Amino acid sequence: MSLGKTGIALKLPLAIIALGALAYILGFLPNRWQQICILWAIWSTVGMSWLIMLRAGIFSAGQAVFLCIGGYTAAVLTLKFGCSFWLALLVAAALCSIVALIVGVIILRLKGLYFLVISFVFAEIVRLTIAASDYLGSSEGLFGLPVPNSILGINFSTKQGWLYLFILILSIASFTYARMERSRIGRIYSYIGTSPDLAQSFGIYFMKYRVQAYVISAFFTGLTGAAMGGYLGAVSPDGYTFYYSLTSQIVAILGGIGSIVVGPLVGSILYNIFDEYLVYFAGARSLIMGLLLIVVIFFFPEGLVGLRKRFRRTKETKHVVTT
Amino acid sequence: MLDIFIFWITLSLNYVLLATGLTLTISVMRVVNMAHGNFYMAGAYAFLVFSEKAHMPYGIALLLAILFVGAIGMVVEAKLYRRLGGRIEPSIICMCGVLLALEGLATILFGPDIRGLPPMVAGTAMIGKTVVSMGRLAVAVTALCVITALFIFLKYTRMGKSIRATAQDREAASLMGINVKLVSSLSMGIGTAMAVIAGVQITAVYSLSPFVGITALCTSILIITLGGMGSIIGAFIAAFIIGLSDSFGASFIGRYHHLLSFGTVMLILLFRPLGLMGTRVEAEGKEK
């Protein structure tokens, strides 16, 4: 896993303007494509959050747990306490960070496979416990979440408003991750990810950075989860299965894990277009996603982004050969 | 009370099968087989096809299901896993792909509905004043026989010794003339076969749908984490502890019993980060 050299952080003002324009243009798309764009923004954010943990050597199989906690927190706050959606959004993200901090201090002591399996089990147990709780709507979940108040004249009873919100979350997340990737923290992450023992011998207390990566990842995943609950108008335990954890990996791997921001952004486009057309064939969707994952791992281990690089490399070598 | 006790024993013995299968593949392959739960599900469906569609007797249908799904497991090991060269991340993702593909295939072929499996033996028996279903007793006995056979196989036969040697040190084993590739395929096949037996027996008690694989994977992971990865004795002890929470816990605490088993595992991991029987050497070998 090498450091990404995407340069997004340097071109930030340009990127913000471009994203704003993009969101504005996307707002005129037909409903179905707006839906795809919303899901694209959601899964890009979650995929990036998964990837930043992988960069720090944390292979998680339970990203869905923070979507779940975030979604349920926002749902309970708005539905049961009549709290404003915007406050609930922030509280949900904060709560996810706190949960990640507490749980992370315990489970991040485990390395490699142990962490992988425990993160998976943690996500399943949280889901099953929520499904058992009557206060949280047992296995049917909570539904009929109120539509958030309009803010800055943006109306949230249409898809357009939500599109702006998710693009905003995506921009904040990708800005943060791009900055992290290019700064000292990002280098430390990739250092402790590739050789934790060596990093420790150089005086890097890697537990601190592992927990940090976990908490930041949980914050953005929780934020997305809370907003997603509001967008769908309902949360249910069946909505946060292992399939969601897998999706966060799929978008990152399809796009390529070489760069934290670009990979998930690209992978998420492909994933969501696939998903939109396969959504009515539940079995076929799983089957095709599974086969796609295997094909990508074997033939394009660097993902779609790596494909472009590979193409360029072969061109260069050809050039060398002819001259 | 006695019926819960018998349920505990039945369930735990099958959990032992499930977890031993997973721990065997982990100790030889050094990667968690994420598709283990879905092999369990696939086995139950294969059994359903052989027994209900082809009207075969229970034993033959079970045997065919084991051979069929075991062969799938061995093909996955030989054609997919082995070519990834033991690197953890790609192998895990590849196994997740297998998991999704199996789940999708089962949904396409059999639909997402919940089904029941026929019991091994019909009828009931009386123990004291409690009515006990013969099916459950038969399941417990079968599981016990299979576990014993596996223990004898691993302990005394030449192939079993090869498997244990490969689990300890792959390179040293291949230097000693052990066919490591064959051993890997075989242990994956045996692990899958264990999952199939557990699948046919547990889904006969609960229910079968294409999505039960994840729950089974969750249970078996809890067990092997508690018992220590790669340790069969540990899996045996841990299966009975987790079984306790899924039988007595489910009866007395109710729906929150998952929290109980997770809490137990977390508590043990705080004091023994490698599980009850996990050893430092094995864990270090696996982190690479």
Q: What is the pLDDT of residues B55-69, one digit of tens each?
A: 888 888 889 999 999
**Distance, in angstroms, between B218 CA and closest chain A CA?**
6
- Flag if A121 and B256 touch (Cβ within 8 Å): no
Q: How confident is the prediction for chain B on average, in pLDDT?
A: 83
Query: What's residue B210's pLDDT?
Result: 83
Residue B265 confidence class, pLDDT cut points 50, 70, 90: confident
Question: Which positions in chain A touch B97 (Cβ < 8 Å)?
Answer: 289-294, 297
Question: pLDDT class for B281, splitting at 50, 70, 90?
Answer: very low
Residue numbers of A between 215 and 244 with CB closer than 8 Å to B: 241-243
CA of A8: how far to CAs of A69, A182, A238, B4, B224, in Å? Answer: 31, 9, 36, 61, 43
DSSP-based three-state secondary structure for B32: coil
The CA distance from B21 to B28, in Å, is 11
Per-residue model confidence as pLDDT tens digits over A105-141: 888 887 777 888 888 888 888 888 888 877 877 777 7
Asked whether the beta carbons of B196 and B70 are under 8 A apart, the reply is yes
Say what the pLDDT of residue A222 is.
93
Confidence class for position B283, pLDDT limits 50, 70, 90? very low
Mutation target vs B (from A109, A293, A299; most B CBs, 10 A cutoff): A293
Residue A237 has a pLDDT of: 85
CB contacts under 8 A, B 31-50 vs A, are 31-32, 34
Asked if pLDDT for residue B50 goes beyond 80, the answer is yes
Could B262 and A109 be called an inter-chain contact, meaning their C-beta atoms sit closer than 8 Å? no
pLDDT given at position A198: 83
pLDDT score at B282 = 47
- Comparison of pLDDT for A102 and B87, the residue scoring more: A102
Closest by CA to B201, choosing from B261, B124, B144, B126, is B144
Query: Model confidence over A245-263: pLDDT tens digits?
Result: 888 888 888 888 778 888 8
| Predicted pLDDT at A313 | 62
**Does residue B173 register a pLDDT over 80?**
yes
Of the residues B89, B279, B282, the best mutation for testing chain A's interface (the one with the most A CB atoms within 10 Å of its CB) is B89
Interface contact B94-A246, CB threshold 8 A? no
Compute the nearest-CA separation of A6 from chain B (Å): 23
- Give B 46-85 residues with CB within 8 A of chain A: 80, 83-84
Supply the ipTM of this predicted assembly. Answer: 0.81
Residues 39-98 of A with CB under 8 A from B: 54, 59, 61
Q: What is the predicted pLDDT for the residue at A320?
A: 47
Q: Which residues of chain A have pLDDT under 70?
A: 1-13, 15-16, 27, 153, 310-323
Q: What pLDDT sits at residue A96?
A: 92
Residue A217 in contact with residue A110, Cβ under 8 Å?
no
Q: Does A266 touch chain B (CB under 8 A)?
A: no
Q: What is the pLDDT of residues B137-161, one digit of tens each?
A: 888 888 889 999 998 998 898 888 8
Q: Is B286 on the interface with A (CB under 8 A)?
A: yes
Asked if the model's pLDDT at residue B167 lies above 70, the reply is yes
Measured in residues, chain A has a length of 323
Where on the phi/psi map is residue A233: left (φ > 0), alpha (ψ -120 to 50), or beta? Answer: left
Tokens describing residue B79: 């054609």
pLDDT at B286: 43
What is the model's pLDDT at position A285?
Answer: 81
Burial, B26: exposed, middle or buried (Cβ in 10 Å; 0-12, 13-18, 19+)?
buried
β-pairing verdict for A142-143 and B130-133: unpaired
Bigger pLDDT: B165 or B256? B165
Flag whether residue A102 sits within 8 Å of chain B, measured between CB atoms. Answer: no
Name which of B93, B258, B287 is nearest A293 (Cβ-Cβ). Answer: B93
